[in-house]
Chains A and B, each alone.
Chain A
Amino acid sequence: MRFYEYESKALFRRHGMPLPKSGLAREAADARRIASEIGGPVVLKSQVLSGGRMKAGAVRFAETPDQAAAHYEAIVPIVVNGQRCRAVLVEEKKGIAQEYFAAITWDGRRKCPVLVFSDMGGIDVEEVAEKHPEHVSKTHFSSLFPITPRIAKEAIGATGVTGDALNRLTPIVFELMRVFLAYDLTLAEINPLARLEDGRFVVLDGHIDMEAEARGKHKPLLAELAIAPEETRQAREATPFEIRGAEINAQDHRGVAGNVVGFDGDLGLVIGAGGGSLTLFDAVRKHGGRPANYCEIGGNPSVNKAKELTKLILSKPGVRKIAVMMNVVSNTRVDIVARGVIKGCIEAGKKPSEVIAIFRIPGAWEGEGFKILRKYGVDYCDRSVSMYEAAGKAVAKMRA
């Protein structure tokens, strides 16, 4: 889940990182007041969970408090990559001598965090890495063993930074590493990390992405930042369909039946088994199918939960059929899911045999599940049919 810039900075502030003076404006009068308190040129930045703010005109500079208020009014209506402005951050404008980039993310291949540092700013860091590889360092570190400032120092030094700049940058980058580990982040980025004309360093912008599963663990922090539990914080705002999916999942602690993401297609997907759900989604696409959603099911959901989810997916405009597919499962009761899905179809006013394109959940109690599916005339298959073939069958049914 992404944090807004002002939230990322609030977290950085907790960790003593140097930040410009700033305030959050929710109306033009706030922008005027904050600018006058800062007492000099300010930058106004739309708070959206997306890049491309500058290009969209949602970042503006003001010399006076009145100009700040006028810019506020101009910024608020601007939609950046589908994101509406939540508030406007009014921040002291600094005279910058040089921009640096520091980011930590997770390297899935090496299975540990990686610190990327550049002394050439962060705009198009990939291009910098290509054209000036000596100015970008990549440093892996352990998420299990204690970390030390030396790791940060070596990462910075590897780009040629020395002396006073190296000494001043090290504690900032080291703190970023600590923040990354302490809050189960998938991204902690400072971009740009600016050296001012007087030699001091300041964090001008920050990006934080927290592992969604870690929300429960970090409730106090999220409450402090006023991030409400219902805020999904995806790259775009959740649709009512997706919010309802999350509600269904939250209503009952048993299993998972949610994580719904809506698309434009006509085949509803009730799919599961970790990587299996991604595989199935891709298989449907590969066969030329048009998924109406991505929805996970697993871990033994209750009948009621599977039922409500099925009803939700069938209620989505454009959905003609659903495919219920999982990898081989040992901990999800096939008969329980079958009951829920069939009940959902019936309560939605549909015939299970007509609306379920395929049911492929090989696993616990599948014999019992097959009895249920047979009674309702639902097309099902066992593990002798691969996930890819099952997806093909579902797509073929859509064309029939």
Chain B
Amino acid sequence: MAGLFIDVQVDASVAKDPALTKKLVEVCPVNIFAANDDGSVRIVEANLDECTLCDLCVRAAPPGTVRILKLYE
């Protein structure tokens, strides 16, 4: 089941960057990002609703490239 309350969008430029992927995996406290074998980023849908809205991922990537969407607003 995808997030009922939260969705996370990552621009393709960031998603394909292994260095940024590593950063995103590291900063998220609830494991919403995971790395694919090729170093690109994958969203772990089962964890989406655990998002704490901490914005660490947003700050770890270039401005506007990672977006946290509150689906209840």
Scan residues 338-363 of chain A and give those whose CB is less than 8 A from a CB of chain B: 339, 342-343, 346
Which residue from chain B places its CB closest to the CB of A365 in the assembled complex? B53
How many residues of chain B are within 8 Å of chain A by beta carbon? 10
Q: Which stretch (A17-25, A316-324, A367-375) binds chain B?
A: A367-375
Give CA–CA (A303, B1) in the complex, Å. Answer: 14
User: What residues of chain A lie closer than 8 Å to B72, measured between beta carbons?
Assistant: 371-372, 375
B4 beta carbon closer than 8 Å to chain A: yes
Whether A371 contacts B73 in the complex (CB less than 8 A), given A339-B4, A339-B5, A343-B4, comes out as yes
A67 beta carbon closer than 8 Å to chain B: no
Name, among B4, B53, B73, the residue most crowded by chain A CB atoms within 10 Å (CB to CB). B4
Instruction: Apart from A302-B50, A304-B49, A342-B4, list 15 A-B contacts with CB within 8 A.
Output: A303-B49, A303-B50, A304-B50, A335-B53, A339-B4, A339-B5, A339-B49, A343-B5, A343-B49, A346-B4, A368-B53, A371-B70, A371-B72, A371-B73, A372-B5
User: What residues of chain B lie closer than 8 Å to A375, measured between beta carbons?
Assistant: 72
Give CA–CA (A339, B30) in the complex, Å. Answer: 15
A312 beta carbon closer than 8 Å to chain B: no
A355 → chain B closest CB, angstroms: 16
Give CA–CA (A343, B73) in the complex, Å. Answer: 16
Q: List 8 A-B contacts (CB under 8 A).
A: A303-B49, A304-B49, A342-B4, A343-B5, A368-B53, A371-B70, A371-B73, A375-B72
The 9 closest A-B pairs by CB, nearest first: A375-B72, A303-B49, A372-B72, A339-B5, A303-B50, A339-B49, A371-B72, A343-B4, A302-B50
B52 beta carbon closer than 8 Å to chain A: yes
A379 → chain B closest CB, angstroms: 17
A2 beta carbon closer than 8 Å to chain B: no
